[in-house]
Chain A
């Protein structure tokens, strides 16, 4: 997996993941832990529902006037000494970063974790230009050193245990001390390795959690301090943000700083947040570039049902409550955006034309837990169902759609339905074992692949009802005292 495009359909990837008991145990432990902690953090705020509604409306208001907001942001950043670039797609954004790096003759740069940069597959593109990007978030560093891909929005190396990381760091960081498998010791090794990079590297790349149009303020929310290092120490800073991240006024930041940390890391507040507006003389990078990325977002914006997906603040609350994510893990989604939000965001960003991404709206039990957890009230189940319909429409007339049309015809009249049930009862004979059907033939086999079907009983309810009414003494009088 790399970038947005899944390399195979979700059911195929998920089947493999579900068969890995170690992965399932890791995922269960982690999602349960975060889930419980998050509930406590949320319960502490008496106005949580009001904050969710305000968060949703604040994002919607920005999106409703998106071109005005972006132009305002551009003007504010430029007025503060920054430069603004626009990218229609991933290739343009990659090229912009490479050009800036080349203009400064940089062969190495540091990065603070950014899903947007993963979305555009920035590191590989920079490599092709002979520029090495060093990930500075501990989990991203683990993923990078092991030539792996992230599996969770918030804890990208969630699928790795301490023994694997111990072996990796002893091998890759060339640490003279043999490292134990204690998380504190391993984090210490990363600190020693990265400190020199922070103090000496000339250029950094970041994402952006939010940007304020009014003031030109860009924001990075983080925990380790690597974000502060990246946005403060180098001479040149490039931030890549999806165009949906813009907010209108400085005060709009407040509601998101209330709901984001509690939803993602289940903390009252994350340890560090950096805000900067363009360039501050004598403090921090003296050259700042902001890249505004579309890459499919305007297609999502154009869709009335799907548009709400752009409210997403990448908190990952929906992943941690999802029964499908808990069993299949992030890699099964095949995209940098896993879990329920990925199941709706990935296919939409790919404009519903990617045949693997179009299996993602099926990656849900529609239990609705993701909608309840979402701090900006994205109705993920609604969008999932809508996208399933879209995906089906794109397929045109198939055996499945013909079968569904037949079902509609049969079920639209009582007598037709009864006739169909009688036929099915006759036809099921050879398939029934102990009252269950474990494997349906042909197209219907998809249903029984992961569940059994109860056989049709010898008598239907309607048939029983008719015989009951025909018997003497039956019917409404039967209940007399």
Chain B
């Protein structure tokens, strides 16, 4: 078997199949009416809470306390490189993913704290492009609890805004992880069970305020 031969044949079949076919006109992308910043933030909060994830909105001075609360009893905390140290309260066993931690070390952690690239209000989706402050994909995958810190100005109204916001990262070859609530399954009699394989719990902290200079 030769995949080169298969490639030629599949391409030949396609070109034969498409004789005389026209490229259709594409209608414009429908957009929602303009919303105020407060409306967008309110929608995002509503969606996150609907996924039964934790949500809190704080002014910058309240961040450390919010992170402490979100972590709950979690002590062994993993953070990605590039995460601002001012985001982390004292008294934790913090492991930075520099050099890279092993799968087993991550499995032994209680929680991970990260930022994000952008968040989408209408669907309550957090998008990571795994840049600084977000870390490798595995960091937000293996520990049980994910605490995600989002600047209010990272929250956009809808899905197309989110897709456009990470277009440069995708074109640069970076992977993306879209997160909408914690992991869940409805495979047994359609009963929703939360916490299957990924992080079982998601805690979202939105930092909002004119003085905020945090880094994503």
Contact = CB atoms under 8 A, between A and B. Distances in A.
Given A61-B26, A215-B171, A217-B170, A254 B181 contact: no
A416 B112 CA distance: 82
A250 B15 CA distance: 24
Nearest to A62: B23
The residue in B130, B142, B180, B185 that gathers the most chain A C-beta atoms within 10 A of its C-beta is B185
A183 B193 contact: yes
Interface stretch (A16-24, A273-281, A383-391, A431-439): A273-281
B190 to A, nearest CB: 6
Contact of B188 (A162, A217, A226, A232): A162
B22 A199 contact: no
Interface in B1-38: 1, 3, 6-7, 9-11, 13-18, 21-32
Contacts of B14: 66-67, 70, 243, 298, 301
Interface in A143-187: 155-157, 161-162, 165, 183-184, 186-187
Contact of B137 (A34, A228, A302): A228
B92 interface: no
Contact of B175 (A50, A186, A277): A277
Contacts, number: 249
A86 B177 contact: no
A445 interface: no
Interface string A207-232: 00000101101000001111011001
A199 B160 contact: no
Q: Is the interface of A mostly helix, strand, loop or mixed?
A: helix
A60 interface: yes
Given A92-B6, A269-B178, A65 B23 contact: yes
Contact of A224 (B9, B179, B196): B196
A66 B16 CA distance: 11
B30 A51 contact: yes
Contacts of B124: 268-269
A225 B100 contact: no
Interface string B43-86: 00001001100000000000000000000000000000000000
A454 to B, nearest CB: 41
A243 B13 CA distance: 12
B197 A229 contact: yes
Given A183-B191, A272-B183, A251 B27 contact: no
Nearest to A58: B26
A277 B170 contact: yes
B185 A138 contact: yes
A88 interface: yes
B31 to A, nearest CB: 8
A54 B122 contact: no
A334 interface: no
A437 B97 CA distance: 78
Contacts of B47: 268
